[in-house]
């Protein structure tokens, strides 16, 4: 058994070609995300797919002007439709559920030859107003997707031995 090539090859991309993403590709990416597991299978999520240039520029403004944000031909905003549900361990489910769904989308995007970057550096209130997200709901993360226009070095990870233990902390 080998580690999936999409996992081995993925890295955050912050320079994208302007080529729009084919509809079938974007549909498969979103489809991969909604197949993710969620606590009690509640699927308390809504994914807003943004491709219109004027909206992407407004997202860029809400992301403190970071140019690569508006440059990505597609942006998926991961939003929750419930902010209260706690899992049996007492923790909120929405950040966990949405993160897993985003991971599925990210890996499908890599499989499709796309580059991705998770973005949390944004003014949530501005994004909420832009897309009329209900007052009490949250926009947890943005996923930039597009054909990569750079090939950065992969970033280092802590050695497995330092972060994994067996049968004790």
Ligand X SMILES: Cc1cc2nc3c(=O)[nH]c(=O)nc-3n(C[C@H](O)[C@H](O)[C@H](O)COP(=O)(O)O)c2cc1C
Rounded CA gap, 135 and 137, in Å? 6
Candidate segments 16-24, 32-40, 118-126, 129-137, binder of ligand X by CB under 6 A = 118-126
Candidate segments 26-34, 47-55, 90-98, 115-123, binder of ligand X by CB under 6 A = 115-123
CB of 130 to ligand X, least distance (A): 17
Q: Do 34 and 43 form a contact (C-beta atoms < 8 A)?
A: yes
Chain positions 77 to 96 lying near ligand X, rule: CB under 6 A, are none
Please compute, for residue 159, the number of CA atoms within 13 A of its CA located in the half-sphere on the CB side.
2
119: left (phi over 0), alpha (psi -120 to 50) or beta: beta
Q: Do 128 and 83 form a contact (C-beta atoms < 8 A)?
A: no
Question: Residue 148 gets which letter from DSSP?
Answer: B
CB of 125 to ligand X, least distance (A): 16
Q: Which of 121, 123, 134, 150 binds ligand X (CB under 6 A)?
A: 121
Candidate segments 53-61, 85-93, 111-119, 131-139, binder of ligand X by CB under 6 A = 111-119
- Integer CA distances (angstroms), 134 to 57, 74, 79, 128, 145, in order: 22, 22, 10, 8, 25
Q: Which of 89, 132, 136, 155 binds ligand X (CB under 6 A)?
A: 155
Q: Which of 49, 92, 96, 118 binds ligand X (CB under 6 A)?
A: 118
Query: Where does this chain bind ligand X (CB under 6 A)?
Result: 11-12, 14, 117-121, 155
């Amino acid at each position: 058994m080998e580690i999936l090539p999409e996992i081995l090859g993925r890295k955050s991309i912050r320079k994208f070609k302007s080529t729009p993403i084919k509809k079938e590709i974007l549909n498969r990416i979103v489809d991969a995300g909604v197949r993710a597991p969620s606590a009690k299978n509640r699927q308390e999520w809504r994914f807003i797919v943004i491709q219109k240039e004027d909206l992407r520029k407004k997202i860029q403004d809400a992301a403190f002007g970071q140019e690569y944000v508006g440059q990505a031909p597609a942006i998926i905003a991961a939003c929750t439709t419930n902010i209260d549900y706690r899992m049996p361990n007492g923790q909120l489910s929405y950040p966990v559920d949405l993160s897993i769904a985003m991971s599925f989308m990210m890996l499908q995007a890599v499989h499709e030859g796309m580059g991705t970057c998770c973005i949390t550096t944004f003014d949530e209130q501005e994004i909420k107003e832009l897309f009329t997200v209900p007052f009490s709901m949250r926009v947890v993360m943005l996923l930039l997707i597009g054909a990569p226009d750079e090939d950065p070095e992969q970033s280092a990870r802590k050695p497995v031995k330092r972060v994994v233990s067996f049968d004790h902390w």
